[in-house]
Structure 1
Amino acid sequence: MTQCAEDGCSDPAAVRVYVPWDEDRDVCTGHARALVQKDGVVAEPLEGAGDDWR
C-alpha cells in the first residue's frame, strides 16, 4: 500500500484528491477530509483501500 503524500504523514493512502491549484495526490483519510473542505477539490477512493476512506 502507498503512503500518504502529505509531508510528515506515515499513514497509508486511501484517497486520491484532485486539487485544481496543485498536483493531484494520494492521501490518507484524515488529510482527504481536510482537503475536500476546500472549493474545487474532489476525492476518489483508491481501489483496494477498503472502506476506510469514508
Structure 2
Amino acid sequence: METCAEDGCEDPAAVRVYVPWDEDRDVCTGHARVLAQKDGVVAEPLEGTGDDWR
C-alpha cells in the first residue's frame, strides 16, 4: 500500500485529491479532510480502500 504524499506523513494513502493549483496526489484520510475543504479541490476514495474516509 502506498503512503500519503504529504511531507512527513507515513499514514496509508486512501484518497486521491485533485488540486487545481498544485499536483494531484494520493493522501491519507486526515490530509484529505483538510484539503477537501478548500475551494476547487475534489477528493475521491482510492479503489480498494473502503468508503470510510469521510
TM > 0.5 fold call: yes
Once the two structures are TM-superposed, the CA of residue 50 in structure 1 deviates from its matched residue by 1.4
Identity %: 89
Normalised by the length of structure 1, the TM-score is: 0.95
8 Å contact 1:16–1:43 — kept in the other structure? yes
Alignment of 1:14-29 (within 5 A): 14-29=14-29
**Structure 1 unaligned blocks of 5 or more:** none
Instruction: Tell me the C-alpha RMSD between the 2 structures.
Output: 0.7
Q: Match of 1:34, SS? A: helix
Question: What CA distance in whole angstroms lies between the structure 1 residues aligned with 2:40 and 2:19?
Answer: 7
Moved over 2 A (4+): none
Once the two structures are TM-superposed, the CA of residue 52 in structure 1 deviates from its matched residue by 3.3
Q: Match of 1:31, SS? A: helix
Q: Match of 2:11, SS? A: coil
1:40 counterpart letter in structure 2: G
Normalised by the length of structure 2, the TM-score is: 0.95
1:9 corresponding residue in structure 2: 9
